[in-house]
Amino acid sequence: MSTNSMEERLLALSDLSKVGRYEIVRKLGQGGASLVFLGRDPYIKRLVALKLAPLASSGVSDKFFKEIQSTGRMTHPNIVAVYDAGLARDYCYIAMEYVDGPQLSEFCKPGRLMPLANAVECIYKVVRAIGYAHEKGIVHRDLKPSNIIMEDTKTPKISDFGIAVVTEETAPLEQAGTPSYMSPEQLRDETCCPQSDIYALGCVLYELLTGQKAFDGDSFFSIMYKVINEEPVGIRALNPDLPPILEKIVGKAMAKDKLYRYSSCEEFAFELKVALRGLSAPAKLAKNNDVVEYVQSVSFFAEFSKIHVRELMRASEMVQVKDGECIVEEGEIDDSFYIVLSGATKVIRRGNKVATIGIGECFGEMAYIGGRPRSASVISEGDCILMKINGALLDRAPAKIQLLFFKQFALTLVNRLSRSSFDPKACLESVV
């Protein structure tokens, strides 16, 4: 569909006085491929936000309704509720909860930035909400500050779930929206996935912390080139007062290759929560329900109850490790063992890397079980968060907890065997 054709079709929709059963109150805004109106439901007597987008074909309408069936079932305090959807002539519409507040983009400008802790908490809530959508198999595809509305100073609400599936096919690429928040794979016309949303959220966080877009330019294609080929200026170069952990979080979320981004919104949210704890010094980490839920979602603790995880977190030590830091050293005597909650580590034996240990895996357990010196060193690959458990603590734990730990130790050994093609020598070299 040509740019002129799209403009003409949007112009024709601008004069509508009614959409479905909804009465048009006034126009709220317009994007490259859609219009937003304030509408009134005459039966329920409530205001709604109506988003309209022209349709290119009946096939698009089928995709649109399939998407809306999923998004309409979502109930989350940080997601704008979808009330209704329909077709009228050659356009589709969504009737959504009307949130009378500013877009997040209002707080992405120099001089209007939120207090740092508020900004991180805001994105934390958005990431959790998007994680909820991902669990239901829904990818947003079009996350940006203008699609996040602030209901009040601390309550963001994400809008426009479902509409992206229409605008992707009805608008030319350069009309579909700013590429500043599109992931490299989206700009290469590859399939969107949860990591595409994670990238966009990294871009939103970048802008919320600095007041500048990570990538900007004079045209769609100049920005597109930068997104695919260039690295953004570091956030601490733009705002030196920002803590290093936030620069690391933004960098990981915005990695060019989706394999190097956060594996899930849960992992992303966990690191934001750790950063927030350092900014606002809230209650002890182990008492935080969100962190407990994240730890329980890590594969090592899949069979542990929430009560067990909470007790373990109270008794264990949460360790933050910087890139390249030695966590355990070959030859040392220590019965502590570790579970990786975020990041990755490498096993070094006699100067050679023999294995990588990632999220949900443990190391140091063989020194605890065998009571012998460490057989290898473990060094962080990037910043990591680990749970450190003292051997004496596990010795005093209830039999059920000990059984769960030893089951995970056995599974760890099985996984190492499978990764080493059942070569016992290679497997033993990765044991710490």
Q: Are 58 and 74 in contact (CB under 8 A)?
A: no
CB 345 within 8 A of CB 384: yes
User: Residue 59 — φ and ψ, nearest 5°?
Assistant: -65, -35
Compute the distance between CA of residue 194 and CA of residue 293 in angstroms, rounded to an integer: 20
Enter the tokens of residue 226: 């930068």
Alpha helix segments (H runs only) across 287-421: 289-297, 306-315, 365-370, 391-396, 399-419
Helix (H, G, I), strand (E, B) or coil at 415: helix
Is residue 189 part of the annotated active site? The answer reads no
Strand-by-strand arrangement of the 91-97 sheet: 18-19, 22-30, 35-41, 46-54, 91-97, 82-88
User: Which is catalytic among the residues 15, 41, 142, 257?
Assistant: 142
CB 19 within 8 A of CB 60: no
Tell me the pairing of strands 155-158 and 91-97. Answer: unpaired
Kindly give, in sequence order, each residue whose CB lies less than 8 Å from that of residue 227, ignoring residues fewer than 6 positions away. 179, 180, 182, 183, 184, 187, 215
Give catalytic residues, as residue numbers. 142
